[in-house]
Amino acid sequence: MFIRVKSTKNSPRKSVQIVESKRINGKVRQKIVLHVGVAQDEKELEELKLLAKAKKEELEKQGTLPLYEELDKKEEESLKKQENDENKIKRKEFEVNLLDLVEEKRVIKGIHDIYGKLYDEMGFNKVLENPVRNKASARILKEIVLARIANPDSKRGSVDSLANDFGVNLDLTSVYRMMDKLTDKAILKLNKLVYDKTKTILDDKIDVIYFDATTLYFECFEEDEFRKKGFSKDNKFNQPQVVLALLVTKQGLPIGYKEFSGDTFDGHTLLPSLEEVKKYFKIDNVVYVADSGMFNNVNLSTLKEKKISYIVGARIKSMKKELKKEILNNNGFIEINDDIKVKTIQYSPTEKLIITYSKKRAKKDKYDRDKAIEKLYKRLKESKSVKSQLSNNGYKKYLQLVSDNNSNNNSCDLSIQLNEDKIKEDEQWDGLKGIITNKLDLSTQEIINQYTNLWQVEESFRITKHDLKIRPIYHYKPQRVKAHLAISFMAYSLVRHLEYRVRLQYKKLSPEKIRKLLLSSQGSIYYNKKTDKKYYMPSYLSTDTKKIYKLMEVKPITTATII
């Protein structure tokens, strides 16, 4: 087998195929084993070639038979005749009176057909220790992961959904027993499986890793050694939480995750996560990209000491006076385009600070500040009480205390008002952003592009929080909490990998759109009152759904079958 790239006449489009040469009737002919996808540009072509290489290696390992063949005409006619003869025999079994049929249930097939296959491809069926002895638990784990993709809910809700919508019956107690088997060792194995699959698809070309952390709250108010109150990104400050750190590639594919107690500061999650990655995955020569929450002296010193390359958002407003003066100086900026201009400042002998100014960002910064000031005016008009204003956390920086001396009784009253100097000081920083890096060999544009791509990890958190509803967490035992995070990470990994394949091999579809398409792949189970036979009748499949089935090499049921 080999990878073939076919050009389209008078078009930049190029098709990527896995092809095999075969001798048919004494002649060497080529057959298409797999049509991988069509690239619109060179970047897509490279990504498709990497995916094709991974698929080719997978087919060679499995000894999988080709899906498409350029057959001899006589051979093709013979196969058609054989198929027609078989169909005539089968048709008699489906000669029924419609009045004798009763619909028993309608079940969803798409989620299990597509994500079920990908689940096995990722090796998730081997996550639990002693998979042979834990077959029942392994099956339950797979069902719970697929249920989280289809209809994220509590474990009880997932059990009900599987029974009502998928025809899968699970015992809730067995689900909790399965979660207890998701030990730290199993979770480490899960991270390795995900990393290996991502690395294989990208042909070991992981040169940039994006890092970020978020908080996940519990539907309770009691703390323990793992569930702690801390700074909540969900504004649930009175509820305990855990901190989740996530690592992804520039394509948005997952590499791994690590959980921390809820009182862990974001900046303290970076080094332990990178240590674990280097220890277990042996990743070298990679640039780590993180936002300004990871910018602190300890992190940067350790990264430099361990000779780890990094691109980190800088807290430019907190820098030394001389450096801030240089940042605010308009001299030295170079225009990149109509919106952005940049300049580079030597931050240290081994680091450079890149300052970007964006007109669009400046406009947004001004709009946000004006809205804040407008609300403050309104609040101050209603009440100038110091106590009522100090609770207004989001706008404190624009307020100042003023003493009102009363000469009659020699007393001093405090009032609160807007700090105009602070507002003017803030205006200077509109549109400015800083990036620090020790990758001195990269161009300014490359560094900006890589840092800008941090949206991939932000998008990943949006998927886990919104689409997969990883929070709130209802468990209270630390190991069950870890198991819940592992199940959610498995679901997230499947969602991201399928989204990546669909984009490359077909077109860009959001995870939510893919989920809805697969949920629409359904079928009805009919019972024949006279013969006691049961029939499965599939629903209509849209073009997009058919394409997903095809690229995942799953043959959908399109005609009635006897159960």
Angle (deg, nearest 10), helices 42-62 and 478-505: 110
Structural domain contains residue 165:
no
DSSP state of 258: E
Q: Is residue 410 part of a domain?
A: yes
Let me know if residue 164 belongs to a domain.
no
Cα dihedral 226→229→232→236 (10° resolution): 110
Cα Rg of the chain, angstroms = 29
- DSSP letter string, 23-62: EETTEEEEEEEEEEEEESSHHHHHHHHHHHHHHHHHHHHH
Give me the amino acid identity at 31: K
CA angle 511/515/517 to nearest 5° reads 115
Residue 455 lies in a domain: no
How many C-beta neighbours within 10 Å does residue 332 have? 12
Domain that holds residue 7: 2-73
Question: How far from 180 is each of 129, 476, 477, 486, CA to CA, in Å?
Answer: 12, 13, 10, 12
Listed in sequence order, the residues at least 6 apart from 358 whose beta carbon sits closer than 8 Å to its beta carbon are 339, 340, 431, 433
CA-based torsion, 287, 292, 297, 298: positive or negative = negative
Query: Does residue 389 sit within a domain?
Result: yes
Which of these three, 73, 93, 114, is where a domain ends? 73
Domain finish residue from 49, 73, 97:
73
Based on the structure, what is the number of domains in the chain?
2
CA dist., res. 357 & res. 430, Å (int):
8
- Domain end, chosen from 438, 467, 485, is at 438
The answer to whether residue 248 sits within a structural domain is no
Residue 341 lies in a domain: yes
CA-closest candidate to residue 108, choices 163, 39, 58: 163
- Position of tokens 């005749």? 81
Note whether residue 118 is domain-resident. no
> Quick one: 365 exposed, middle or buried, by C-beta within 10 A (0-12, 13-18, 19+)?
middle
Encode the chain (563 residues) as per-residue pLDDT tens digits. 889 998 877 778 888 998 888 777 777 778 888 888 888 888 888 888 888 888 888 888 776 544 444 445 555 566 566 666 656 656 777 888 889 999 999 999 999 999 999 999 999 999 999 888 899 999 999 999 999 999 999 999 999 999 999 999 999 999 999 999 999 999 999 999 999 999 999 988 888 888 888 888 777 666 666 667 777 666 677 788 888 889 999 898 999 998 888 788 877 888 888 888 777 777 767 888 988 877 778 888 888 888 889 999 999 998 999 999 999 999 999 999 999 999 999 999 999 999 999 999 999 999 988 888 888 778 777 765 555 555 555 556 777 766 665 555 555 566 677 778 888 888 999 999 999 999 999 999 999 999 988 888 888 888 887 777 787 778 878 899 999 999 999 999 999 999 999 999 999 999 999 999 999 999 999 999 999 999 999 999 999 999 999 999 999 998 888 88
